[in-house]
Structure 1
Amino acid sequence: MRERPPIVLIPSYNTGPIVFETVATARRHWTAVWVVVDGSTDGTAEGLDELARGDAGLRVLILPQNSGKGAAVLYGLECAAAEGITHVLTMDADGQHPADLIPAFMAASAEHPHCMILGKPVFDASAPLLRVRGRRLSNWWANLETLWMGIGDSLFGFRVYPVAPLIDIMRKQRWMRRFDFDPEAVVRLAWRGVRPINRDAPVRYLSAEQGGSSHFNYWRDNVLLTWMHVRLFLGFLLRLPWMLWMRARSQ
């Protein structure tokens, strides 16, 4: 099957009207945008489906029940792979990610097709201080677990993935289905030899008045992240002799 151009993939769950702005902005900057509606109950599935009828560049995939961000991304990846698409840029539906950087990230991916292009967030005054400081711990663990391969930010979901290795990893890992999908994906891809390339990307946090929405739960999601890093650290210890040998060989 002939290789097709990459797509923008947007998982969405009950984000409200902001998803329409996110999709419209993404479409202004890229020709093919797919949205995976992850069991939303806020009416956005119907609205997106209506938009797609009048826009050949927009595809809407609807999951009947909420399964988690990782599960939604995996479904989109599998649909993309079935059509010969080899690279996917993921971005959140809540308006935080910079759609105007889509072409630059796609160009970087085309230049380095065997790498993952990771957004490194540049925060402004709207960013919650607790979230900014808290992610530093996850980033430290992700870099330890990869022997400092160079992961600039493990949590920021604006990134380009090579599709085939990520699908293979996710099919073998039953845990990679929820909020903690993003950091586990970059660590396991790094273990597979997929090198990270970091690019700065401004992030904005919208207020409720601006249409912002968040499903982040401080306690629940930090428990998920902690359990994820426990699993990854155990995997890291098992791989450590091989990783050290490979590091020595490359020097």
Structure 2
Amino acid sequence: MPDSRPVVLIPSYNTGPILPSTVAAALAQGVPVRVVIDGSTDGSPDLLQPLLSDPRLKVTRLEKNAGKGSAVLRGTRDALAEGFTHVLCMDADGQHPAEMIPKYFELSHQHPQAAVFGRPVFDASAPALRVNGRKVSNFWANLETMGWGIDDSLFGMRLYPAAELIEVFESTCFARRFDFDPEVAVRLAWRGVPILNLPTPVRYLSREEGGVSQFRYLRDNALLTWMHTRLFLGFLVRLPWLALRGENPLHPFSPPHP
């Protein structure tokens, strides 16, 4: 059975002062951290300078904004080159709790063949439109994978087997921007990668707290609609094989929905 040598990967685009706080919180867990600055124009690399004395931190800068998926692709390739086997993606905007990192790493050590997906536990800060709207994407993702076990198709805190993630990227020219999270989830399921779902608190920071969002309602929902149209056609092609392959072998190990 393969082992697990995970690293935290944080893609960032114009997240401002919240970025060093997010990175510092991850480093406080005693783990290696890699940041990919995705063409930011807000001085993000300078904001991280005080943290670069920590040998566990490395920062890569992309000159032009290429999208979250592209930043993760670059970071995952670099992680593999360094000898890491898994990448735990975290958003740079402070929504994902760094104190959950050890739990993701522990599950990865127990099940190194698996991807560990966060199942968001929302509090009162979560906009109702975002909470309810994601149910549409979740419905389609579970239809397209015949219920393989994707509890949330959009939540960005996930631990991926790095080699499998690279193979997914190489299988499509898509999944490079906001469509990254749901598309790679579906394609990993198509490949038969076992998925575990870990309940994870999520907090939407206010502007006063430094919260930022790159989500654009019309643009990104149009992108998701096009994505699920493509994936549904891919599902139809794969339907006979998906119907015969059985269930996600790790489905019983995920905590049940409340």
TM-score by length of 1: 0.95
Which consecutive residues of structure 2, in runs of 5 or more, have no partner in the other structure? 250-258
> Deviation digits for residues 171-230 of structure 1, max 9, x if unmatched?
221111001100111110011110110010000000000000001000000001111101
Counting only pairs closer than 5 Å after superposition, residues 77-116 of structure 1 correspond to structure 2 as 77-116=76-115
Contact 1:37 1:63 in 2 (8 A): yes
What residue identity is the alignment partner of 2:6? P
Aligned to 2:255: none
What residue identity is the alignment partner of 2:66? S
User: What is the distance in 2 between the residues matched to 1:32 and 1:83?
Assistant: 11
Given the alignment of the two structures, is residue 233 of structure 1 paired with residue 232 of structure 2, yes or no? yes
Aligned to 2:256: none
Which consecutive residues of structure 1, in runs of 5 or more, have no partner in the other structure? none
Contact 2:169 2:175 in 1 (8 A): yes
Given the alignment of the two structures, is residue 20 of structure 1 paired with residue 20 of structure 2, yes or no? yes
Counting only pairs closer than 5 Å after superposition, residues 26-65 of structure 1 correspond to structure 2 as 26-48=26-48, 50-65=49-64
Tell which deviates more after alignment, 63-72 or 82-91: 82-91
| C-alpha displacement of 1:84 | 1.8
Q: What is the root-mean-square deviation of aligned Cα atoms in Å?
A: 1.5
| C-alpha displacement of 1:244 | 1.1
Contact 1:17 1:211 in 2 (8 A): yes
| C-alpha displacement of 1:52 | 4.5
Aligned to 1:173: 172
Counting only pairs closer than 5 Å after superposition, residues 138-149 of structure 1 correspond to structure 2 as 138-149=137-148
Structure 2 CA distance for partners of 1:192 and 1:30, relative to 1, 3 Å: farther
Contact 1:35 1:61 in 2 (8 A): yes
Contact 1:12 1:93 in 2 (8 A): yes
Contact 2:4 2:109 in 1 (8 A): no
Tell which deviates more after alignment, 87-96 or 23-32: 23-32
Aligned to 2:125: 126
What residue identity is the alignment partner of 1:153? D
> Deviation digits for residues 41-85 of structure 1, max 9, x if unmatched?
00111222x234311111101001100000000000000111221
| C-alpha displacement of 1:5 | 2.6
Tell which deviates more after alignment, 185-194 or 3-12: 3-12
Contact 1:30 1:102 in 2 (8 A): no
Contact 2:4 2:108 in 1 (8 A): no
Contact 1:179 1:221 in 2 (8 A): yes
| C-alpha displacement of 1:4 | 7.6
Counting only pairs closer than 5 Å after superposition, residues 140-219 of structure 1 correspond to structure 2 as 140-219=139-218
> Deviation digits for residues 108-167 of structure 1, max 9, x if unmatched?
011111111010000011000000000001001100111001111110010100000110
User: What is the distance in 2 between the residues matched to 1:139 and 1:85?
Assistant: 30
Contact 1:52 1:59 in 2 (8 A): no
User: What is the distance in 1 between the residues matched to 2:100 and 2:245?
Assistant: 34
**Which secondary structure state, in structure 1, belongs to the residue aligned with residue 246 of structure 2?**
helix
Contact 1:143 1:150 in 2 (8 A): yes
Contact 2:117 2:157 in 1 (8 A): yes
Aligned to 2:252: none
Q: Runs of at least 4 residues of structure 1 off by over 6 A?
A: none
Q: Decide which structure has greater helix share.
A: 1
| C-alpha displacement of 1:30 | 3.5
What residue identity is the alignment partner of 1:122? V
TM-score by length of 2: 0.93
> Deviation digits for residues 216-249 of structure 1, max 9, x if unmatched?
000000001111101110100000011112239x
